[in-house]
Amino acid sequence: MNPPISKNSEVIDLTSRLRRTTPLGERRSTEDAGDLLARVARGDETAFTSFYDLIVERVHGVVLSVLRDPAQSEEVTQEVMVELWRTAPRFDAARGNALTWSITIAHRRAVDRVRSEQSHRTRDDREARLTGTAPAPDTGTEVINQLERQRVRAALAELTPPQRESIELAFFAGHSHAEVAALLGLPLGTVKTRIRDGLIRLRDRLELQP
Amino acid sequence: MSDEPTDPTPLSASGDLDAFAGLYALDALDGDELEHFETLLATDSELQAEVDSYRATAAALSDHVAAPPSAALRERVLAEVAATRQDAPLVVSQRRDPHGRASTERIERARPRSFATMLIAAALVLLAGVGGFILRNAGTTDTSQLAALLALPDTTVVELTDPAAATNVGRVVVNATTGELVVVSSSLEAVDDDRTYELWRLDETGATSAGTFRPTSGNVEFATKLALDGASGVAITNEPASGSDQPTTPILATAEF
């Protein structure tokens, strides 16, 4: 059984408050992704550079998780980061925070790439992709706070194995729910329920502000 | 396969829609299901809030797979950004001109003023599925009729298009058997007090009026019934408040059956 995560306000706030590491000798600064994005929306390229440093590991991580291929992942990550710059003026803070917005776009673009390419792939390639699962995490990031990472890992560990499996295939591997059902040999309704229930459990566990 | 432990109670009473919201938030819907869900989403702010919360959950999961890209990528991105123009912000403000008429003004960089540039990015919500983080008045609408219509097997969803700019401005949900039809749009602008939108049934002989409607809080969900036999589609124009027998202004949007 996993130890409960301490529910102090620092932990709860971590998702939207990303700590940025700076070289030795410089003062550490905590910049809020939302504040940076507000400046980016006004055309501030310096703010975008900081915003890039703050979120690119997550954006790239999600894209790589879905696409698997490093070269393609870099390509799509570049497209996503430029799209974030371009559409920042239309970001509506009332609808969600900067991280959610960024990852939503990243995941969507990665899945778009997979779905459009699947029609061009050979049968063998397609099957190879279908048997894949999410790549192993923990590839030595600089920015992501270890505490945040542990918190998410603990939340994922609290799902039932079927829930976690379905969410991993749908989100981390970018499969459609029909594909997930085919991979697991399950009815669509079962997959749908597992994903919904898993998400609700994660949502409660992570206590996020949308 | 072993039995699963009992799961937490679903949040919404309509558990099925809630499950679809979860799939949608994970980009796991495609095809017809995706289209139907997005049509519902366009006018259901509670459903949108549900999707938003699931998206926040999914975004937090990115911690689990975070991985740094190459240093070269950073240089490429920053170089491309320096050469990329940002989109104009979308702000709708209602102003009254000296004659007391309401006009909708957009704050944006210089652009040709066509219908297309007056779009509130409903296209993001209805098409791209990214979630449309846009400034949009939240309307509360009763989607049960629309949901019921979408559930019928002989219901189709067709694109509502601005013919001048060839851009999407909404959707038309139509049932082949009953002729029930619902126009769904988030991008038809508010009309002046002395004007209205009018829907036209189009066929070989021309246009017949199918009713008038006005947007509510930026949203349109106009339900009517048509004799579908021989109809080629529908069109929307801006008419005087009492309606017209025939279109008197250019067609703003059309949908083909």
Q: Which pLDDT score is estimated for A111? A: 95
Chain A CA closest to residue B46:
A95
Q: Which pLDDT score is estimated for B2? A: 45
- One DSSP character per residue, A45-109 reads HHHHHHHHHHHHHHHHHHHHHHH--HHHHHHHHHHHHHHHHHHGGG--TTT--HHHHHHHHHHHH
- One DSSP character per residue, B159-207 reads EEEETTTTEEEEEEEEETTT-EEEEEES-PPPPPTTEEEEEEEEETTEE
Helix (H, G, I), strand (E, B) or coil at A160: coil
Q: Which two tokens stand for residue A91?
A: 């970001």
Q: Which two tokens stand for residue B51?
A: 């999707």
**A4: number of Cβ within 10 Å:** 8
Chain A CA closest to residue B22:
A196
Chain B CA closest to residue A52:
B74
Q: Would you say A196 and B10 are in contact if contact means Cβ atoms under 8 Å apart?
A: yes
The alpha carbon of residue B81 is apart from the nearest alpha carbon of chain A, in Å, by: 6
Q: How far apart, in whole angstroms, are the C-alpha atoms of residue A162 and residue B159? A: 38
pLDDT classification of B122: cutoffs 50, 70, 90: very low
Asked whether the predicted pLDDT for residue A34 surpasses 70, the reply is yes
Return the ∠ at Cα B232 (arms to B226 and B235), rounded to 5°.
Answer: 70
pLDDT classification of A46: cutoffs 50, 70, 90: very high
- The answer, for A43 touching chain B at a CB cutoff of 8 Å, is yes
Contact B60 A96 (CB under 8 A): no
Q: Which pLDDT score is estimated for B17? A: 86
Which residues in chain A have their CB less than 8 angstroms from residue B74's CB?
52-53, 56
Q: Which two tokens stand for residue B83?
A: 């050469």
What is the count of residue pairs from A and B with beta carbons less than 8 Å apart? 237
Contact B61 A152 (CB under 8 A): yes
CA proximity to A201, closest of A172, A162, A145: A162
**pTM of the model as a whole:** 0.59
pLDDT classification of A195: cutoffs 50, 70, 90: very high
Range 65-124 of A in CB contact (< 8 A) with B = 65, 73-74, 77-78, 81-82, 85-92, 94-97, 99-108, 111, 115
Q: Which amino acid is at B28?
A: A
Contact B81 A45 (CB under 8 A): yes
Residues 6+ apart with CB under 8 A from B31: none
Contact A91 B63 (CB under 8 A): no
Chain A CA closest to residue B85:
A86
Q: Would you say A186 and A155 are in contact if contact means Cβ atoms under 8 Å apart?
A: no
pLDDT classification of B130: cutoffs 50, 70, 90: very low
**A34: number of Cβ within 10 Å:** 16
Asked whether the predicted pLDDT for residue B149 surpasses 70, the reply is yes
Q: Which pLDDT score is estimated for A43? A: 94
Return the ∠ at Cα A168 (arms to A162 and A170), rounded to 5°.
Answer: 100
Indicate if the alpha-carbon torsion angle A60, A61, A64, A65 is positive or negative.
negative
Closest Cβ–Cβ partner in A58, A62, A177 for B23: A177
Interface-testing mutation among A116, A168, A199, with chain B (most B C-beta atoms within 10 A): A199
- Which tens digit of pLDDT belongs to each residue from A92-140? 887 789 999 999 999 999 999 988 776 555 444 555 555 544 444 444 5
Asked whether the predicted pLDDT for residue B9 surpasses 50, the reply is no
Q: Would you say A79 and A109 are in contact if contact means Cβ atoms under 8 Å apart?
A: yes
Residue, of B100 and A77, whose pLDDT is higher: A77
Q: Which pLDDT score is estimated for A91? A: 92
Place of tokens 């909404």: B170
Percentage, residues of chain B above pLDDT 90: 38
CA proximity to A36, closest of A27, A26, A46, A28: A46
The alpha carbon of residue B47 is apart from the nearest alpha carbon of chain A, in Å, by: 13
The H-or-E segment that residue B123 falls in is helix B122-123
Which residues in chain B have their CB less than 8 angstroms from residue A152's CB?
60-61, 63-64
Place of tokens 């007090």: B193
Q: Which pLDDT score is estimated for B43? A: 87
Name the CA dihedral angle for A76, A78, A79, A84, rounded to a multiple of 10 degrees.
120
Average pLDDT of the residues in B148-168: 81
- Which tens digit of pLDDT belongs to each residue from A167-189? 999 999 999 999 999 999 999 99
pLDDT classification of A194: cutoffs 50, 70, 90: very high
Average pLDDT of the residues in B28-35: 90
CA distances from B67 to A60, A143, A206 (A): 6, 10, 21
Contact A111 B27 (CB under 8 A): yes
Q: Which two tokens stand for residue B166?
A: 């060839």
CA proximity to B177, closest of B153, B199, B159: B153
Most confident of A19-23, A65-69, A138-142, B170-174: A65-69
pLDDT classification of B185: cutoffs 50, 70, 90: confident
Q: Which two tokens stand for residue A20?
A: 């940025």
Residue, of A76 and A4, whose pLDDT is higher: A76
Q: Which pLDDT score is estimated for B148? A: 73
Average pLDDT of the residues in B151-159: 82
Chain A CA closest to residue B88:
A89
Closest Cβ–Cβ partner in B5, B10, B82 for A196: B10
Q: Would you say A87 and A104 are in contact if contact means Cβ atoms under 8 Å apart?
A: no
Average pLDDT of the residues in B40-59: 92
Residue, of A76 and B133, whose pLDDT is higher: A76
Percentage, residues of chain A above pLDDT 90: 61
Helix (H, G, I), strand (E, B) or coil at A195: helix
* Average pLDDT score over chain B: 75
Q: Would you say B168 and B160 are in contact if contact means Cβ atoms under 8 Å apart?
A: yes
Residue, of B115 and B218, whose pLDDT is higher: B218
Chain B CA closest to residue A207:
B57
Place of tokens 């947007």: B215
- Which tens digit of pLDDT belongs to each residue from B200-241? 999 989 999 999 998 877 778 888 999 998 899 999 999 999
Q: Which pLDDT score is estimated for A9? A: 46
The H-or-E segment that residue B238 falls in is strand B233-240
pLDDT classification of B131: cutoffs 50, 70, 90: very low
Which residues in chain A have their CB less than 8 angstroms from residue B133's CB?
90-92, 95-96, 101
Query: CA neighbours within 13 Å on the CB side: how many for B29?
Result: 23
Q: How far apart, in whole angstroms, are the C-alpha atoms of residue B228 and residue B257? A: 9
Q: Which two tokens stand for residue A168?
A: 């991993």
Which residues in chain A have their CB less than 8 angstroms from residue B135's CB?
92, 94
Residue, of B166 and A78, whose pLDDT is higher: A78
Q: Is the ipTM of this complex over 0.90?
A: no
Q: Would you say B171 and B42 are in contact if contact means Cβ atoms under 8 Å apart?
A: yes
Average pLDDT of the residues in B25-45: 91
Range 127-186 of A in CB contact (< 8 A) with B = 134-135, 137, 139-144, 148-149, 151-153, 156, 160, 162-163, 167, 170-172, 174-178, 180
Which residues in chain A have their CB less than 8 angstroms from residue B87's CB?
86-87, 89-90
Q: Strands A17-20 and B195-203, how do they pair?
A: unpaired
Indicate if the alpha-carbon torsion angle B83, A91, B139, B13 is positive or negative.
positive
Which residues in chain A have their CB less than 8 angstroms from residue B54's CB?
199, 203
Asked whether the predicted pLDDT for residue B103 surpasses 70, the reply is no
Computed over its alpha carbons, how large is the radius of gyration of chain B?
21
Percentage, residues of chain B above pLDDT 70: 72
